[in-house]
Amino acid sequence: MNTFAEILKFTIPSVITGGIIYLLFRSYHQNAQKMALLSMKQDNGKELLPVKLQAYERLVLFLERIAVNNLVIRVSRPGMNARELQQALISAVRDEFDHNLSQQLYISDQSWELVVNAKEEMLRAINASASSLGEEADATELAAALFSNILKDGHSPVDVALFHLKNEMREQF
């Protein structure tokens, strides 16, 4: 019995010491993992920040380019009739949108929805303005009808999306 007590006298402190060391190492390892993860997130944030800012810039540029006044001036050519201008305007809006499609990764879903809505509303306005004209209408008549359609609706979807994108960018940065 005396031998057993002697064994316990050395074994119990060794087990307790081993358990404490295990808990300390486990805690240290967990903290080291958390610090490594935090460091990695900070590094990713530094790399992602310029990309996110560029996404906002590109989408603002997209919205400015499809705004009716900029779009008509950029796309119209002398001698165009209304149908040619309609097709050129639609093609320009779709090309601009397709070029910026990947930017949705870097903005909120609500902002992306407003950008898509602005594009769709611009296409709808172009088609509605063109359908209100006769077959012999020229490009200036379509441009005038398009300006009239956009102005009568009040705030254009392009302006709404621009306002929202600017506010979201200011809140994040």
Q: What is the pLDDT of residues 80-107, one digit of tens each?
A: 999 999 999 999 999 999 999 999 999 9
* Those residues with Cβ within 8 angstroms of residue 114's Cβ, 6 or more apart along the chain or in another chain: 157, 160, 161, 164, 165
Q: What integer is the mean pLDDT of 97-118? A: 94
pTM score, whole prediction:
0.73
| 114: in domain | yes
Confidence of residue 34 (pLDDT cuts 50, 70, 90): confident
| 89: in domain | yes
| 92: in domain | yes
Nearest CA to 158 among 130, 128, 122, 127?
A: 122
End-to-end CA distance of the chain: 73
Q: Does the pLDDT value for residue 43 go beyond 70?
A: no
Given CA atoms 122, 123, 126, 131 in this order, what sign does their dihedral have? negative
| 27: in domain | no
Which residue range(s) make up the domain with 125? 49-172
To the nearest whole percent, how much of the chain has pLDDT over 70? 98
Cα(173)–Cα(48) distance, integer angstroms: 12
Cα(103)–Cα(125) distance, integer angstroms: 24
Q: Does the pLDDT value for residue 44 go beyond 90?
A: no
| 5: in domain | no
Q: Does the pLDDT value for residue 1 go beyond 80?
A: no
| 67: in domain | yes
| 7: in domain | no
What domain count does the chain have? 1
Cα(84)–Cα(48) distance, integer angstroms: 42
| 116: in domain | yes
